[in-house]
Amino acid sequence: MALLQISEPGQSPDPHSRRIAVGIDLGTTHSLVAAVRHGVAECLVDSSGRAVLPSAVRYLDGGQRHIGAAAFAAQADDPLNTIVSVKRLMGRALADVVGHERLPYRFVDSPGMVAIQTRDGVKTPVEVSAEILAALRQRAEDSFDSDDLFGAVITVPAYFDDAQRQATKDAARLAGINVLRLINEPTAAALAYGLDNASEGLYAVYDLGGGTFDISVLRLTQGVFEVMATGGDAALGGDDIDAALATWALTSASRTAESAHDRRAMLMAARVAKEALSDASSTVLACGLVGGALAVTVTRAQLDLLSAPLIDRTLSAVKRVLRDARLTRDEIQGVVLVGGSTRMPAVRAAVATLFGRPPLTNLNPDEVVAVGAAIQANQLAGNAADGEILLLDVIPLSLGIETMGGVVERIVERNSTIPTAKAQDFTTYQDGQTALALHVVQGERELVADCRSLARFDLRGIPPMVAGAARIRVTFEVDADGLLTVSAHELTSGVQATTAVKPSYGLADDDIARMLRESFSEADADAAARSLRESSVDADRMVLATRSALAADGDLLTDAERRAMVELVETVVQVAQGADHHAIDAAVKALAAGTEAFAAARMNRGIRQALAGRSIEEV
Amino acid sequence: MKLDDSDFALFRLPERFSLDRADLDIRWRQMQGSAHPDRFVGEGAASQRLAMQWSVRINEAYRRLREPLTRAAYLCELRGAPISAHTNTAMPADFLLQQMAWREALDDADDSVALAKLEAEVLAGERDLLGQLDTLLDQQSAPRQAAERVRALMFINRFRADLAERIDAFHD
C-alpha cells in the first residue's frame, strides 16, 4: 500500500504542483514511454527493467491478450492472432498497404481503414494501437504510483498524413489518454538532441524506423526548434529490408514459405540476420520452416545490395527536402540519426556520403524520440520554466480540393508552419447549382487520382444563380497537432458547412465511444468514477490557470470584474469537492465563459510584450 | 493589436519593401513564443481557440512578409494596385520578350550545362527585378509599375519550378 503523505506545517499540500506528463513513441517495431523526473528525461521501464515494449498484440481466448514481448515471441506460432507492425496499417485501406499480400493476416477490407479478423473478433489498427498505448499508460502510472496521468505527447512520423494522425489520436483516446499534443518524431529527436548538446544552427534528422522514413531539416535558435522542411515515406523502413532479405533467402535456397507461420518465421529470421550483419560481415540466416529447416549464409555485401534500392529512396527524399528548405548540404551543421534501422552500416555510409560528413550517433536511436516527447510533455503540462522551448513544426504534404476535371487546387502548401489557415474562393459550374460537393485531398500530384482522399462533404442550400456567380469560400485550418478542419460558406447568401476532416476511414465519435465501452467493458461504477476524475482534473486545471492569470494580469480588470471572476473560481472549487461530475462540468463551463474576454485581453498584452524588446519602428 | 491589423503593423515594422530578414525571423519567433497554442495547454478550450487564431495570423503575416514576391504584392495591394494575376497580365514590355526567349531556351536545352546556364540567367533576371521593386516601392512610390514587376516575378517563379523539374530529370 502506498504511504500517505503529510505536508510540512504551514505548507499546503498541492498535488498538482507537478503534473504527471509523459512522452510516448508509438513505433512500428517497438514503443516507449518517457517522462521528466527530478529534472531528467528518461525512459520508464517495466517490472523487469526493460524500456522497450515490442509493438505486438496477441489476442487469446476469452478476451485475454498479451501485449509486448510475449506477443512478439508468438508471432510465428500464432500468426493470425498476433498483430505486429500495426502502425503500417493506421489510417489505411487495404489497397494502400504495399505488400499486404505477404502479411499473414485475415484482412477485412472496410471502406476506410483495413481491419483484421482475430479469434477475439475484428480489430481495427486503432484498437490494436490502443492496446499498446494502454500498456504504456499502465507502465507510467505504475512508475509514478499514481493513476492521475495529466496527459501525454505522442509522436507520429513527420510524413504521416491527416488520416494516420487522426487514427493515432483516436487510439490514444481509446486508451484513455489525454493527448496534450501529437508531435513529429524527427522534431522530438531534434529537441532531445539539441537540448542535450546545447546546439544552435541548422540540423537534419534522418529517421529510419521499422516502417517509416522521415527527414526533417530544423533551425535551432535559443530554445526554438523550427522545422524548415520535412519529407519522407510513410511506408519505408526496416520491415521492407527484412522482407527483401527473406525473399532472397528463400529464392537462393529454392524454398517457399506458403503458410502464415512460415512467412512470419522467415521475416523474424531475416531480421535477426540483418541485425547480426551490423557487426559481422557474414552470418547464417536460419529458420525452422514447416517443410524442414532452412539455413542460408548471408554476407553484409549481399544485404547492402538488397537494401540499396530502399536506401536510395531515402536519399531522394533528403535531396528534395534540402531543396524545399532552400539549403545546400554544406549549410547543415550536423545530421542526427534516429530509428533502429540507422544501425545498418550501409545506411550510415550512405548518409555520410550524401551530407559529406559523418552523422551524429552519440545518442540512443531507439530512445531519443520518446525522450524528446517527454521534454515537450513536461513543458506543455506547465512543469518547466516558462518559455524554455517552443516547437514550430510544418505540415508534410500539401492540402487541396478537387476541381473540375479531377484536378487538384492546392490550398495549403507543404512545409507551411502550423497552426495555419488558408481560404480560397470557388464558384459554381452550372446555372442554378444549389449544392457543391467538396473533396479534400492531400498530396503533391496534380491529379486527384494520384493524391490521398481525406474527406468528402457537401455545401447545400446555395440560392440558384447563374454559373460562376456564387462565391464559395473554402477555408482549411490545420491545428498544432497537424490535423485539418475544412469549412465552406457561400459569401452572398451566408450558407455554411463545416467538417472536421474525420477522414474517409470514418471513425466517428460514436464509434470511439462504442469501442471504449466494448474494449474496456467498464462497469457503470467505474465509468462514473472515471468521469468524475476527468471532471475534477479539468476543474483543477481551470482553477489553477485562472488564478495564475489573475495574479499575472489582474490589473487588466476592474474591481467588479475581478470579484466576479474570483467568485466563479470559488464556485468551481466548492463544487469540485462534491461527487457530481455534471455540476463540476457546469461550473467549469461558467468559469470558461466568464473569463473569455479576460483571456483575449491577456493574449493581446502577451503579443504586444513579445516585441517589447525590439526597436519599434513606426512609419 | 488586432487580428486584422496589417502584416507590417502586426510585426511593428514600417510599411516598406526593404526588410531585415534576420530581424523579421526574431520578431516571428518572439511573437509565437507568446501566442502559440502550446503556451495555453490546460487553460481551457476558449484560450486554445484564441491562441490558435493569433498563431495562425502571425504565421500568415510572417509567410507573406518573408518572401520578397508576396511582400511586394501585398504592398502593391495596400497602395491601391492589386496584382489580380487572373485578370491583369500587364508586365514590363522587355520582360515579355525575355520570357519567350527563356521558354524557347528551356525547350531547346538538351544537356545539364545548358540548363545550368539558363538557371543562372533566370536568377540574374530575378535579382534585377527585385532591385527594381526596391526603387519603385520604397523610393518612388510607384505601385502600378511595381505590380508589373511582381507579375514578371510570378512568371519567373513558375518558370523556375519547370526548370527545376528538368534539372532533376537529368540527375535521376
Kindly state whether residue B104 falls inside one of the protein's structural domains.
Answer: yes
Whether residue B52 is found in the same domain as residue B115: no
Residue A287 neighbours by CB under 8 Å, 6+ apart: A249, A265, A266, A268, A269, A293, A294, A295
Q: What angle do CA B151, B155, B160 make, to 5 degrees?
A: 145
CATH of residue B97's domain is 1.20.1280.20
B93 min Cα distance to partner chain A (Å):
30
**pLDDT for A242 beyond 60:** yes
**Domain finish residue from B47, B66, B85:** B66
A547 min Cα distance to partner chain B (Å):
11
For the segment A273-289, the average pLDDT, to the nearest whole number, is 95
* Structure confidence at residue A1 (pLDDT): 41
> Of A159, A202, A186, A219, nearest to A329 (Cα)?
A202
Number of domains in chain B: 2
Alpha-carbon span A500 to A368, nearest angstrom? 32
Question: Are A419 and B56 a contacting pair, CB within 8 Å?
Answer: yes
Choose the mutation target among A392, A398, A414 for the interface with B, i.e. most B CBs under 10 Å. A392
Q: Which domain holds residue B131?
A: 93-171
**pLDDT for A14 beyond 50:** no
Kindly state whether residue B11 falls inside one of the protein's structural domains.
Answer: yes
The answer to which of A9-13, A132-136, A286-290, A547-551 has the lowest mean pLDDT is: A9-13
User: Does residue A172 or residue A39 have the better pLDDT?
Assistant: A172
Alpha-carbon span A64 to A74, nearest angstrom? 15
Is some CB atom of chain B closer than 8 A to the CB atom of A221? yes
Q: What angle do CA A156, A157, A160 make, to 5 degrees?
A: 95
For the segment A593-611, the average pLDDT, to the nearest whole number, is 87
Q: Which range has the top average pLDDT, A141-145, A370-374, A496-500?
A: A370-374
Q: Which helix (H) or strand (E) holds A156?
A: strand A149-156
**Domain finish residue from B23, B49, B66:** B66
A517 min Cα distance to partner chain B (Å):
26
- For this structure, is A393 an active site residue? no
Kindly state whether residue B79 falls inside one of the protein's structural domains.
Answer: no
According to DSSP, residue A464 is labeled: P
**pLDDT for A585 beyond 70:** yes
Question: Are A470 and A427 a contacting pair, CB within 8 Å?
Answer: yes
User: Does residue A11 or residue A378 have the better pLDDT?
Assistant: A378
Alpha helices in A340-470 (DSSP H): 345-355, 368-380
* Structure confidence at residue A272 (pLDDT): 96
Rounded to the nearest 10°, the torsion over CA A611, A613, A617, B2 is: 20
If you count them, how many residues does chain B have? 172
Whether residue B100 is found in the same domain as residue B167: yes
CATH of residue B35's domain is 1.10.287.110
For the segment A192-217, the average pLDDT, to the nearest whole number, is 91
Q: ipTM of this model? A: 0.88
- For this structure, is A14 an active site residue? no
> Of A79, A74, A77, A22, nearest to A51 (Cα)?
A22
pLDDT band with cut points at 50, 70 and 90 for residue B18: very high
Mean pLDDT of all residues belonging to chain A: 87
Determine phi and psi for A531, rounding to 5 degrees: -60, -45
- For the segment B96-145, what is each residue's pLDDT rounded down to a tens digit? 889 899 999 998 888 888 898 999 999 999 999 999 999 999 999 899 99
Q: How far apart are the first and last CA of chain B?
A: 50
Whether residue B97 is found in the same domain as residue B143: yes
Kindly state whether residue B76 falls inside one of the protein's structural domains.
Answer: no
Neighboring chain B residues of A618 at a CB cutoff of 8 Å? 12, 14
Q: Which helix (H) or strand (E) holds A455?
A: strand A452-460
- For the segment A391-441, what is each residue's pLDDT rounded down to a tens digit? 999 999 999 999 888 889 999 999 999 999 999 988 888 888 888 888 999
- Which residue of B lies nearest to A606 if distances are taken between CA atoms? B34
Kindly state whether residue B25 falls inside one of the protein's structural domains.
Answer: yes
Q: Which domains, and CATH codes, for chain A? A: 20-186+369-383 (3.30.420.40), 399-510 (2.60.34.10), 522-610 (1.20.1270.10)
Is some CB atom of chain B closer than 8 A to the CB atom of A313? no
* Structure confidence at residue A506 (pLDDT): 46
**pLDDT for B11 beyond 80:** yes
* Structure confidence at residue B40 (pLDDT): 87
> Of A571, A594, A592, nearest to A583 (Cα)?
A571
If you count them, how many residues does chain A have? 619
**pLDDT for A157 beyond 60:** yes
Whether residue B53 is found in the same domain as residue B110: no
Kindly state whether residue B73 falls inside one of the protein's structural domains.
Answer: no
Cβ within 8 Å of A, B 149-168:
164
Whether residue B98 is found in the same domain as residue B62: no
CB contact under 8 A, B37 and A419: yes
Cβ within 8 Å of A, B 66-105:
none
Alpha-carbon span A61 to A119, nearest angstrom? 7
- For the segment A445-464, what is each residue's pLDDT rounded down to a tens digit? 888 888 888 888 888 888 88
Kindly state whether residue B71 falls inside one of the protein's structural domains.
Answer: no
Whether residue B59 is found in the same domain as residue B97: no
- For the segment A496-550, what is each residue's pLDDT rounded down to a tens digit? 766 656 554 545 555 555 555 555 444 455 667 777 877 887 888 888 889 888 9
Whether residue B43 is found in the same domain as residue B97: no
Whether residue B98 is found in the same domain as residue B156: yes
